[in-house]
Amino acid sequence: MFEIACAASDLQDGQARWCSVRGEEVAVYRVDGEYFASEDRCSHGSTSLSDGELDGHEIECPLHHGSFDIRTGVPVALPCIKAIRVFPIRIENGNVLVSLDS
């Protein structure tokens, strides 16, 4: 089931944003006009990824400086070695919808 995370207009290109979906912390990203979503916690130490630097399709953990591919959740730089969850996403009626049920 898809649920509203935020308004699509809340994100500028190259930006990450924290959202709450059913009480779960979710990071929503906009890159080159496309939207992506992942859990908002770094798998290495529970830091909020939405506070990190977004560089293309990689989000850098603001605490450990490891990074993840926001399309797949796969870690791409140490010290992060465990993947984060990514969620299906769609845009509908100007809103970013996320499904946590994947």
Q: Which pLDDT band holds residue 74 (cuts at 50, 70, 90)? A: very high
Task: Report the share of the chain in percent with pLDDT over 90.
Answer: 90
Tokens (6 digits) for 96: 């970013």
Q: Which of 74, 79, 75, 82 is nearest to 63 (CA)?
A: 79
Beta bridge partners of 58: 55, 69
Predicted TM-score of the model (pTM): 0.94
Q: Is the peptide bond preceding residue 79 cis, with omega within 30 degrees of 0? A: yes
Backbone angles phi, psi at 69, to 5 degrees: -80, 120
Separation in Å, CA 21 to CA 27, 95, 100: 10, 13, 8
pLDDT at 100 over 90: yes
pLDDT of residue 46: 75
Domains and CATH numbers, the chain: 2-99 (2.102.10.10)
CB count in 10 Å sphere of residue 97: 21
pLDDT at 102 over 70: no
pLDDT at 50 over 90: yes
